[in-house]
Amino acid sequence: MAAATDLSPWALFMQADIVVKIVMVGLLAASIWSWAIIIDRTQKLRQVNKQAEAFEGRFWKADSLEDFHNAQAKLAHPSAQIFNSGMTEWRRSSKGGAVVRKEGLRTRLSSAINVAIDREVGLLSDRLNVLATIGSVSPFVGLFGTVWGIMRAFTSIAATQNTTLAVVAPGIAEALFATALGLFAAIPAVIGYNRLLHGVGQVEARLVGFSEEFQNLVSRELDAQG
């Protein structure tokens, strides 16, 4: 009888029906997965911002774009990739001493940089869709576990023909525990998704700003060439 009135989370899990147990385990796994993504992406965004700040500082101190590109070509963070994409296009257009058509080069340079920005933002946004899915689906999965658990509780009540609180409470608590786990998984996932999406947006704005400054610098050099 003591076990039947034990309403601790572990006791509720052990007393649950196999279907509700599967729901609970799935929600717990989803919660762990979402936290892993949140921690990983948060650290990644912090690292990218630090790298961008350092890279831009070196960029504006460089004496020439060619020398700077040769020195930074092996870097793999987003700011460096955008700069490398632009320089690669510039070198291709002027390869072999060919006459550079300024407007055509500006167009191709802008296109190459925009593609690089989209690619880097896509990499930074990796797995954010998982957070969005967990945040939107988990409450409904928990609700399914609750409905199933309540159906089972009512069936047990009908079988025993006993409606005292000691008989009803464990089954109802077990069912509601599934909803609690659903919210436990969903709330951090939704908050993490919104915060990370905002962080990615800030990085994207920074990359766009850097790319525009870089393109302006290239444009001024082209104008200076006559």
Q: 22 or 75: whose pLDDT is higher?
A: 22
Q: pLDDT higher for 8 or 50?
A: 50
Is 199 or 74 the better-scoring residue by pLDDT?
199
- Give the CA dihedral 100, 101, 106, 108, nearest 10 degrees: -80
Give the start-to-end residue ranges of the domains of the chain: 21-140+182-224
Q: What gap in Å lies between CA 11 and CA 9, rounded to an integer?
A: 6
Q: Give per-residue pLDDT as tens, 38-52.
A: 999 999 999 999 988
The per-residue DSSP string of 55-119 comes to HHHHHHH-S-HHHHHHHHTT--SHHHHHHHHHHHHHHHHTGGGPPP-HHHHHHHHHHHHHHHHHH
Structure tokens at 168: 């009803």
For residue range 156-214, list pLDDT tens digits in order: 777 777 666 666 777 788 888 889 999 999 999 999 999 999 999 999 999 999 888 88
